[in-house]
Amino acid sequence: MRLVPAIALWLFVVPSLEAEPSPGWDDSAVRNAGTPPLPYEGVPAFGDHLFNGSHLTLSHQGEGGGRWHLIFSRQGEIWSIPNSFSGESEPHLVCDVRKILEANPIGDKPANGRRVTNLLGGVLDRDYPRRPWLYLVCNQIISPTPGCCLIRCKVSTTMPMTLVDPVPEVILTWESNGHNGSDLHWGPDDGYLYFSAGDGSAPGDPDNIGQQVSQIRGSILRIDVHTEPAADKKYIIPDSNPFVGIDNVKPEIWSYGLRNPWRMSFHPETKELWVGDNGDESVEMVHRIKKGSNAGWSTFEGSLSYRPSNPLGGPTKEHTPPKIEHPHPEMRSVIGGIFYRGKALPDLQGHYIYGCYMTKEIWAAPYDIETDVVGTPFRIARSTGPLVAIREDHNREMLVTSLDGHIERLRKRPAEVEKSPWPEKLSETGLFTDVANHTPAPGVYEYLINAEGWADGATRRRFVAVPAVPLRAQGAARYYKSLFLEVGGAYVQTLFIDQKPVETQMLYNSGIWQGYTYRWNDDGSDAYLVAPEGLDITVGSAEQKWRYPSRAECVVCHNQSSMYAIAFTPNQLDRTGTDGQTNQLDDWLKKGILGQSAPLRQLRGNPAPNPYDPESGTVEQRARYYLAVNCAHCHREAGLGGRAAFRLANHLSLEDTGLINTPPMIPMLGKPQAKIISPGQPELSELLGRVNRRGPGQMPLIGTHKIDQKGVQLLREWILSLPH
């Protein structure tokens, strides 16, 4: 198949507008079925206003007692809004930290002339407004030595807050290249500044940074920024810090052995520090931090042995396991939270509220202070976007911040229709009249796509179950957005190994998208529902590893960022259908499966190239689409690959992707000169290295155990072809 030139768009014949509506799929077998809705839901805290790249919300009072909030963005913008902000007016911009540090650079000039600053954490002085300081931690992506810096800026005490002095004061800098930590809090009893520093290293911690205490990475730090320091310092180290006076140990360290301590908070009664720590291969962790404790990374990953050949290092030779631990099938990137003490949600009083960046799920863990026992954690809600922070507002109610700009409060979900169990057999879902032969029921249509993603060598059959309301194109961006499937519809795909069905995945729109997976029996007569936590087995004649995803893992890829269906776009569907003769889009328009929501000129004539077919497009077109179909649903603006500052959507220009000659946040090639893509040099291109590995740091992150050798070769050829 060759690409159809865009100039030929006008040649396509528009089908009659009198198409008969297609019979809708009967979803009665799954309607009002499935997992009961979570008991709480998010509602906008500040009207419909979106704070682009929001990372953190900080509530405070200015002079005169007025209540305000500071909203921090990853891109460095800090906004000030009143407590009564409804979204109708524009927030006040306090400052743009990225521009401040461009004008007042910290450290040496980058070798490639590029410096990108990300704002990670912030806190007002404990004595604000008497001490009008705003403390910030930023990460600077520069070459050859990326790192973090703790700075403070002088701000106004009147509202809305403004920047008083454009030149920040640098308190501390340290090398860090990913896994930055960088949350800040004041000790409730001692008044010292506590902040976190991640291991700043590649997945797997190859240099064993977590157990090295001669530098501050992988630690919680405690410093005094109020007592007058010596002339060459901006802070002093409290004498009560655990490792003061010990040779080859950084005295700023309060606790160590952490991987990426992202968000933390003090318990309001015990005054103990709790921190969410991102795991590597197996688990996510919440630690209660004790003075001088060693959480064990990377000798341990949580309570699990990780690298037993490396003994615990530093002064503390005893491993302190986490208080809460989640396996990766149910959580992939923990976000530390708070102990709830508001009044709006009385059932959650005293619970530790935290969540997951990737699944967007918010959890609660009961905690008994008297017995020091953490009860069984349970899911309570789901944030609208990728969860990055949970903080208190002025009334001690939760403010839930998502990277996509949503800031929400939680409320009790209104009572809904009681749900019945989800069908245990695929044959009971109403999708097929003959499940063994995949004969679709009325309203269910098999379809083909142009560009398949990698699935460990599996082949696929795909179906869409369309309710009475037809499919329609979405907005102006019609080529790269999925067709819209109304409530009551479903996407279905069966994966085959050695021509035998192994797994059927179903994504159902009940108003909330729900993902379920079925495991086929040996004779291929039916498939059975997999438990919520998923399942690991071996399949096929080669007994290859196979993962049936957990229901939490389903939404890692199939989420709002990807519009839920990754490969249901017009340019994927613009091809001959299963009859081998008719274009699918023409056929669906004629039959009323696809509504007349857009002229055909906006749907047709730009078919996606097949990455594995040299006849379907140039090397660059095929390579770009390979990345789009396998990776772009995470690597996009506010997507789940948000820590990496590049985007892989196919409709972007190569320059706009941020791929070319950009230093990686977490290098894994072991070559200082490596870039995400180094034109003409595959051996120095981190992207290729990630696709060409399995284990820590692999890409895609989940859903695959085998390297796609043809895909790797395609990317290698493309990189070699790039001008350099």
* Arithmetic mean of pLDDT, 303-318: 94
Q: Which of 125-129, 382-386, 572-576 has the lowest mean pLDDT?
A: 382-386
Does 598 lie in the same domain as 623? no
Number of other CB atoms surrounding residue 619 within 10 Å: 17
Give me the number of domains the chain comprises. Answer: 3
Does 244 lie in the same domain as 97? yes
In this prediction, residue 709 carries a pLDDT of 97
pLDDT, one tens digit per residue, over 31-88 is: 989 878 899 999 999 999 999 899 999 999 988 788 999 999 999 999 999 999 998 8
Q: Does the pLDDT at position 713 exceed 50? A: yes
pLDDT, one tens digit per residue, over 360-381 is: 899 999 999 999 999 999 999 9
SS3 683: helix
Does 371 lie in the same domain as 490? no
Run of H or E including 216: none
Residue whose token pair is 């996510």: 284
Out of 412, 431, 451, pick the residue that ends a domain.
412
Q: Does the pLDDT at position 394 exceed 50? A: yes
Does 640 lie in the same domain as 534? no
Note whether residue 613 is domain-resident.
no
Cis upstream peptide for 672 (omega within 30°): no
Contacting residues for 660 by C-beta, under 8 A, at least 6 apart: 654, 675, 676, 677, 679, 722
* Arithmetic mean of pLDDT, 218-235: 90
Q: Where are the beta strands (DSSP E) in 83-132?
A: 92-96, 115-124
| Reported confidence tier of residue 721, pLDDT bands at 50, 70, 90 | very high
CB 161 within 8 A of CB 80: yes
| Reported confidence tier of residue 600, pLDDT bands at 50, 70, 90 | low
Does 404 lie in the same domain as 432? no
In this prediction, residue 4 carries a pLDDT of 34
Q: Does the pLDDT at position 406 exceed 60? A: yes
Does 591 lie in the same domain as 493? yes
Note whether residue 566 is domain-resident.
yes
| Reported confidence tier of residue 239, pLDDT bands at 50, 70, 90 | very high
Q: Does the pLDDT at position 16 exceed 60? A: no
State the pTM of this model.
Answer: 0.78
- Rounded to the nearest integer, the mean pLDDT of the chain is 90
Work out the angle between the directed axes of helices 619-631 and 709-721 (0-180°, nearest 10): 130
Q: What percent of the chain is modeled with pLDDT above 90?
A: 69
CB 140 within 8 A of CB 148: yes
Out of 412, 440, 464, pick the residue that ends a domain.
412
Note whether residue 716 is domain-resident.
yes
More confident of the two residues 452 and 17: 452
Q: Does the pLDDT at position 682 exceed 60? A: yes
Note whether residue 447 is domain-resident.
yes
* Arithmetic mean of pLDDT, 648-653: 88
Out of 376, 393, 412, pick the residue that ends a domain.
412
| Reported confidence tier of residue 11, pLDDT bands at 50, 70, 90 | very low
CB 559 within 8 A of CB 633: yes
Q: Does the pLDDT at position 478 exceed 60? A: no
Structure tokens that stand for 555 in this block: 């939404």
CB 570 within 8 A of CB 483: yes
Q: Does the pLDDT at position 603 exceed 80? A: no
Rounded to an integer, what distance in angstroms lies between the CA atom of residue 705 and that of residue 612?
Answer: 20
- CA distances (Å), 166 to each of 96, 249, 626, in order? 10, 35, 45
- CA distances (Å), 183 to each of 273, 304, 389, 479, in order? 12, 25, 10, 40
> Domain range spanning residue 311?
40-412
Q: What is the 3-state secondary structure (H, E, C) of 479-500?
A: CCCCCECCCCCEEEEEEEECCE
Does 194 lie in the same domain as 272? yes
Does 79 lie in the same domain as 62? yes
| Reported confidence tier of residue 7, pLDDT bands at 50, 70, 90 | very low
Rounded to an integer, what distance in angstroms lies between the CA atom of residue 128 and that of residue 125?
Answer: 5
| Reported confidence tier of residue 510, pLDDT bands at 50, 70, 90 | confident
In this prediction, residue 93 carries a pLDDT of 97
Does 242 lie in the same domain as 345? yes
Note whether residue 485 is domain-resident.
yes
Number of other CB atoms surrounding residue 41 within 10 Å: 18
Does 213 lie in the same domain as 93? yes
Closest CA to 511 of 14, 34, 23: 34
Q: What percent of the chain is modeled with pLDDT above 70?
A: 92
Q: Does the pLDDT at position 3 exceed 70? A: no
In this prediction, residue 18 carries a pLDDT of 45
Does 88 lie in the same domain as 72? yes
Q: Does the pLDDT at position 479 exceed 80? A: no
In this prediction, residue 645 carries a pLDDT of 67
Does 422 lie in the same domain as 330? no
- CA distances (Å), 242 to each of 256, 317, 322, in order? 11, 14, 20
Q: Does the pLDDT at position 146 exceed 90? A: no
